[in-house]
Every structure is written in structure tokens, then in C-alpha cells.
Amino acid sequence: MELQENRGEGPFIDSYQSGEFFLIDQQEYKSSVLVQAEKNTTIWLPQSFAEINANAIAMIIDLKPQLVLLGTGSKMQFLQASLLEPLYAKNIGVEMMSTAAACRTYDVLMAESRDVVAALILE
């Protein structure tokens, strides 16, 4: 049986090197990013988990996804409930995981044509 890769529509995360770069659709990014299925890739302001604030969350909300994969760096960390409330108020689901896991999960969901944003911390 011949299998064909279904890359879906929109940015595909080709690789990630912790603390160094993301390779997204063959373009290298050396900062945190927001990657949206069927849309584009945007530089995201927080460069560490500790820098995620209300403005960073507002950038995600402006993209109007159904689901956010929050890549929290080299290890899984959890945001304060007060930062998550604006997402929940807009019925936006949130999953927190390491950045490497978020990259892999994003590619799978994007290939399934899901309305997903990966908010990825580079560290």
C-alpha cells in the first residue's frame, strides 16, 4: 500500500530545536511563534513561559481558533487560571504541553484540517 503524506493547508512545522529555532515551511524562526492552520506564522512576543501575560493571550484570541496548543518550552508547565479565563470565555480550548509535543500535535491536527493555533515558546 502506498501512503501519501497529507500535510493539510497552512504552515507545517518541519523541525524544532529547543532554544535555537523553528523550521516552518522551510523558513527559520529564532523566536517564539504563533502558527495557525490554514493561515500563517507570526512572531509571538513572550520569549519565555514566565513572559506569557494578558497581551500574549490577547494575540491568540485575535486569531479566533477553536483550539490552542500552548508549547511551554522544554517541559510542560501550567498557566494561571486568570490568564486562561479570556480563552475559555470565547470557547477556545487550550492544551498545555512541551513545545516539542505541541509541534508534533499541531502538525497532526493541521493535517486533519482542524482550526488550531500553536503558541510556541522557543526555550
Q: Tell me which residue of 86, 27, 78, 93 sits closest to 59, measured CA to CA.
A: 86
Where does the pLDDT of residue 5 fall: very low under 50, low under 70, confident under 90, or very high at 90 and above? low
* Three-state secondary structure call for residue 69: strand
pLDDT of residue 23 exceeding 50? yes
Statement: residue 74 has pLDDT above 70: yes
- Per the prediction, the chain carries an average pLDDT of 92
Confidence band of 30 (pLDDT split at 50, 70, 90): very high
Check pLDDT > 80 for residue 51. Answer: yes
**What is the rounded average pLDDT of the residues 40-46?**
95
Instruction: Give 76's pLDDT tier (boundaries 50, 70, 90).
Output: very high
Q: How far apart are CA 101 and CA 108, in angstroms?
A: 11
Confidence of residue 69 (pLDDT cuts 50, 70, 90): very high
Task: End-to-end CA distance of the chain: give it in Å, rounded.
Answer: 40
Instruction: Tell me the pTM.
Output: 0.91
Strands (E), the chain: 13-17, 21-24, 27-29, 33-36, 41-43, 67-71, 93-97, 116-120
Q: Which grid coordinates are listed for 61?
A: 484570541
Report the number of secondary-structure helices (H) and strands (E) in the chain: 3, 8
- Name the DSSP letter for residue 83: H
